[in-house]
Chains A and B, each alone.
Chain A
Amino acid sequence: MSLGRAIELQAIQILFILLLSPLIKGILNRWKEFIQGKQGPSIFQVYRDLRKLFHKERLVPTDAGPAYLVAPYIYFAAPLIVALLIPVLTTFPLFMAFAGDMLAGGFILGLGTFTLLIGATAGGSPYAGIGSTRARFVSMTTEPVLLLVLIAVSFSTHATIPYVVNQTFAKMVWSPVHLLLVVAFFAIWLAETGRIPVDNPSSHREFSMIDANRVYDYSGPDLALIEWGGTMKSMVLGVILLNVMTTPWGLAKAPSLGAVFWAVLAVFAKFLILDGVVVWIESSIGKLRLLRIAEFMAGAAACAVVAVVLTVINI
């Protein structure tokens, strides 16, 4: 594979995440409304909202610190950097693949979230404060589970590089360990992307929100970057869930543009399935009490622990 082709493929991966993540969220929103018996917004509504926000004025609280100003950019950039490390479209590693493993990916995404928390509290709104503490609480319960999952992954596949992990999982052909890890990581995905049962993304009530509370002070292009960054973060974690943890099915096996084109369609189809599962969950259960989130994540942790034990006793 020539360097030029590698750069092309890398660029396609980045653009795939950058440009299609709002569409995936838009489809999810429309399906969710459709299940409620409504017509639902256009699947391109998220793009329109972003364009609207980019054309709006940016208002900055008078006493906002520098953390407030840089947070949207870091939050926006973090998922794109992680996209370099993971198999978005190809089964073969691209040149950045060995620059960081899954733990590094987690840290980079975590950096984005952490910067946003600091930035939100620097704005001075009380809602941003309670949103940040709640988001910290959720992270506090998800991060041990994430570490447990990574431990189980490294035990069972003897690797933490995503390109190696997914090939090893593919050879395990749905062993109990594999299934348990998929379930545990799906719970992490729900919590990290602020979906029911952890947070209600369609709520507008100030006192019950978690994620949306953090960005109360942001406006205009800053808010657009955060919204867009949020959809990309959700998609990058989705890529890890679908392509790394679940199955490398559909990824391009040869470094040709044609193969990558079919991979784009296949991965997009996998995301449609994920959207369908999320719609099913969000339409059938409600949001948990705040303190019950710990119990929900404890369930995911139990799956990961069982996976570790099963790996150690070698089933």
Chain B
Amino acid sequence: MEDVQVHASQNRELDDNLQETQSSSADLVAWVVHHCLPVDKTNLPKAQLLYYGWVSYPSTPHLLAVLRDPVTGLVQWRFAQPPSDGRVPSLATHWPAASWIEREMWQTTGMEPVGHPDLQPILHPEEYLPEGMVTGAGVFRLPLGPVRADVSESGFFLFETIGEQIMHLQPQLFYKHRDIETLGIHQSIADALLLAERVSGTATVAHSMAFCQAAEQALHRTVPVEIKWERSLWLEMERLYNHAHDLAQLASAAGMSVGQAQLARVKEELLRLNGDLTGSRYLRGSVRMGDTCQVTWSQVRSEVESVLENADRRFTHFTNLLRHTPTFVDRLVGTGRVRKDWVDAYGLVGPVARACGASVDSRNESEIEQLAGYHICLPTRGQGDALDRFEVRVLEWHVSQGMIRKLLDLLCNGKELTNVGKYKDFPRPVSSTHPIHSDPPDGWGVGIVEGPRGRVCHVLQLKDDVYLNNSRIRGASSWIWPVFGLAVSNGNIQTDFPVIDASFGLSYAGTDR
């Protein structure tokens, strides 16, 4: 099968699309492998896998892969109908990143990925107790969770240790499966947006923004640039409080009580600012389909800037103190190291990938840099340990601060947002405004957003431009979770676990959906 780029033109019927985009499942897997795996260790992979999984399209489950070229931004879609016996070749044999999603697919649809290296149930974890992987003298199995100390989400971890040394860690998540993807089907766009906001509380903006982007693409509509600025602003506000929270957790895990308390205070001040601006501390309702949040930016600008400046001063002071505390640095350096070859093998995203030297950031790849007229400085570090994840988050905080100032400037000097109109006034189709996107099959859309933990991707199909027919969600943490277990058992001892846990700062709900 040739590498077919799908350019579904507007005047074709849906059936024509199907013809062109359908291929056998083996071809689809070969196509993903060909594009997403690096040829050798020195080369970068040619494309990012945005989504891989199944959709019930049009009625029976189909395999779907969505790829994007990170340089040109070209998005390519491909569907494949599985054979009647439901046996599809496994992508995970070539690429471990697909392991969890194939297990979920197998358990949900019955499609069996043939050759999957670790085909275990992943949903309904309460029914399947994990068995250990390590045998031998002195091996000790230690369960942790699903209910843990402090306010943490539900997740079960099976540690296999010899003394303090962790030999293997098996994370078992999916305790909070709500099946949001199915809930959204046949809902109106407005209702589905509410669902998207609730995928993961700390990534509300990322998920709702990705949903809106996908829905707008499916509707062949575009939104005014001012709305994009405002969405970007909310996204950075979300990143700020998330990074403050993650660093506070890290300080707490290392026993730095003052740093923890002060960074938690920074987070609280930001949450209150969010609450004052939008009425929701976690920014629910801030991203709307083709509409702004009705904030008069020129009136609130000085207040926002003073709160941000105070938060920035406190954050900078206490992260500097942490950086110069030998016990803190010693606790972090070399802890929970992520090996560089795991970045490609698992398609890592977000601060975890950037701490391994990979410059992956959807903000740099999408249209935001042209919109705001500047380039985002991508802070990366090379060692991939907890200290680098700390450093990357600190640097990203400063980048986000700069972005927010710039966006505030644009929003205040731009047109009055209340006069830009709702997007439904814009004519359709306007595919020419997306020159770098290959057009998706009719009715489909993809939204890509760099959330606080990395790339959030929503893939959806609209029916009659009103209802959701298909909805697939890939949160940032779902790429990183499989690596978490590897990083914990990478030469660490049990007391390192809280530090590693805090330095990853992953979301359970965003993975589980």
Give me the interface of A with B, judged by CB distance under 8 Å. Answer: 32-33, 35-38, 126, 130, 134, 196-197, 200, 202-208, 282-292
The CA-CA distance from A76 to B148 in the complex, in Å, is: 29
The CA-CA distance from A197 to B257 in the complex, in Å, is: 12
The CA-CA distance from A282 to B328 in the complex, in Å, is: 12
Known interface pairs A282-B257, A286-B327; A206-B149 also in contact (CB < 8 Å) = yes
Which residues of chain A are near B495, meaning CB under 8 Å?
134, 207-208, 289-290
User: Does the CB pair B327–A288 fall under 8 Å?
Assistant: yes
Which residues of chain B are near A287, meaning CB under 8 Å?
254-255, 327, 331
Q: Interface code B126-145, partner A: CB below 8 Å = 1, 0 otherwise?
A: 00000000000000101110
Per DSSP, chain B at the interface is helix
The CA-CA distance from A292 to B150 in the complex, in Å, is: 26
Q: Which of A33, A202, A285 is close to B325, meaning CB atoms less than 8 Å apart?
A: A285
**Chain A min CB distance to B54 (Å):** 36
The tally of CB-CB contacts under 8 A between chains A and B is: 81
User: Does the CB pair A206–B257 fall under 8 Å?
Assistant: no
User: Does the CB pair A204–B150 fall under 8 Å?
Assistant: yes
Which residues of chain B are near A202, meaning CB under 8 Å?
257
Interface magnitude class on chain B: 20 to 34
Q: Which 9 pairs, one residue from A and one from B, show the smallest C-beta to C-beta distance?
A: A287-B255, A36-B261, A204-B149, A286-B327, A205-B498, A200-B255, A286-B255, A207-B497, A286-B254
Which residues of chain B are near A208, meaning CB under 8 Å?
253, 495, 497-499
The CA-CA distance from A288 to B326 in the complex, in Å, is: 10
Known interface pairs A36-B261, A130-B142, A130-B494; A289-B253 also in contact (CB < 8 Å) = no
Interface residue ranges of B474-513 to A (CB < 8 Å): 493-499
Q: A130-B494, A207-B497, A289-B496 are in contact. List 15 more A-B contacts (CB 8 A).
A: A33-B261, A35-B258, A36-B258, A196-B255, A205-B497, A207-B494, A207-B495, A207-B498, A208-B498, A286-B327, A287-B254, A290-B164, A290-B495, A291-B493, A292-B330
User: Does the CB pair B257–A283 fall under 8 Å?
Assistant: yes
**Chain B min CB distance to A180 (Å):** 23
Which residues of chain B are near A36, meaning CB under 8 Å?
257-258, 260-262
Give me the interface of B with A, judged by CB distance under 8 Å. Answer: 140, 142-144, 148-150, 164, 252-258, 260-262, 265, 325-328, 330-331, 493-499
Chain B residue with the shortest CB-CB distance to A137: B164
Which residues of chain A are near B262, meaning CB under 8 Å?
36-37
The CA-CA distance from A290 to B254 in the complex, in Å, is: 12
Which residues of chain B are near A207, meaning CB under 8 Å?
144, 494-495, 497-498
The CA-CA distance from A200 to B164 in the complex, in Å, is: 18
**Chain A min CB distance to B138 (Å):** 12
User: Does the CB pair B144–A197 fall under 8 Å?
Assistant: no
Which residues of chain B are near A290, meaning CB under 8 Å?
164, 493, 495
The CA-CA distance from A206 to B150 in the complex, in Å, is: 10
The CA-CA distance from A63 to B249 in the complex, in Å, is: 37
**Chain A min CB distance to B489 (Å):** 13
The residue in A32, A203, A205 that gathers the most chain B C-beta atoms within 10 A of its C-beta is A205
The CA-CA distance from A57 to B494 in the complex, in Å, is: 32
The CA-CA distance from A48 to B331 in the complex, in Å, is: 35
Which residues of chain A are near B496, meaning CB under 8 Å?
289
User: Does the CB pair A37–B261 fall under 8 Å?
Assistant: yes
The CA-CA distance from A187 to B347 in the complex, in Å, is: 47
User: Does the CB pair A205–B258 fall under 8 Å?
Assistant: no
The CA-CA distance from A206 to B143 in the complex, in Å, is: 11
The CA-CA distance from A200 to B327 in the complex, in Å, is: 13
Q: List 8 A-B contacts (CB under 8 A).
A: A126-B143, A197-B327, A207-B497, A285-B325, A286-B325, A286-B327, A289-B496, A291-B493
The CA-CA distance from A284 to B258 in the complex, in Å, is: 8
The CA-CA distance from A206 to B328 in the complex, in Å, is: 19
The residue in B142, B150, B253, B327 that gathers the most chain A C-beta atoms within 10 A of its C-beta is B327
The CA-CA distance from A33 to B260 in the complex, in Å, is: 11
